[in-house]
Amino acid sequence: MVLFMVPWVDSASAHGSVINPASRVYGCHQRWGNDHLNPAMQQQDPMCWQAWRTEPNAMWNWNGLYRNGVGGNHQGAVRDGQLCSGGLAEGGRYRAMDTVGDWKYTTIRNQFTIQLYDQASHGADYFRVYITRPGFNPVTTPLTWGSLELVTTTGRYPQTQNYSINVNTSGRSGRAVVFTIWQASHMDQAYYICSDVNFTS
């Protein structure tokens, strides 16, 4: 059994993110939130180091990477190379999430479950789960819509704090990015979530 410790967040600003496989922003907060001034981060976790240096408020607000009023036009709202920041959402607060490099990853199998934590219980109109196409190298290449393959689309989810989305794929191996769109139900609010993974058989 794997337990996830989710920090308390002011409910006035509470939203959510994918906690497994950990989103980039949640992972940086989870690993370094209590030790973010530790210089060892620069060597042990350089992508999070650059993210904390760029905008520490992004990590403290790990659950706030969303855009309002997109109206389902996700590709129109979020440009290539900016998918992991939600198209520079929140005034560019999360721009470091788009930085190309060797992000920490979660090892998964071809059949896996996305766990999303939503403290405010917004509900979901749908989730869309994409995976980078075979041959894409997230360590060296910016994420674009063309580099993604849609693998799962869900229906509505009732209001709750914990969501599970089962994903079934095949023939995957090696490094990839799982890109999750969460269309919340309480208003026209879309979350754009990058999780770095390594597929293993």
pLDDT at 109 over 60: yes
Rounded to 5°, the CA angle 176-180-181 comes to: 150
Structure tokens at 61: 């607000």
Write out the H or E segment, with its range, that includes residue 49.
helix 46-54
Structure tokens at 153: 């689309």
In a domain, 102, yes or no: yes
Task: Pick the closest to residue 198 from 22, 18, 3 (CA basis).
Answer: 22
In a domain, 74, yes or no: yes
> What is residue 70's DSSP assignment?
-
In a domain, 26, yes or no: yes
Q: How many domains does the chain have?
A: 1
**pLDDT tens-digit readout, 121-166:** 889 999 999 999 999 999 999 999 999 999 999 999 998 899 999 9
Could you tell me the strand order of the sheet in which 16-20 lies? 16-20, 111-118, 162-168
The mean per-residue pLDDT over the stretch 24-39 comes to: 96
pTM, two decimals, is 0.92
We report the CATH number of the domain holding residue 150 as 2.70.50.50
Residue 39 has a pLDDT of: 95
In a domain, 63, yes or no: yes
Distance set, CA 140 to CA 48, 99, 111 (Å): 16, 10, 26
For 72, the domain range is 16-199
The mean per-residue pLDDT over the stretch 3-10 comes to: 38
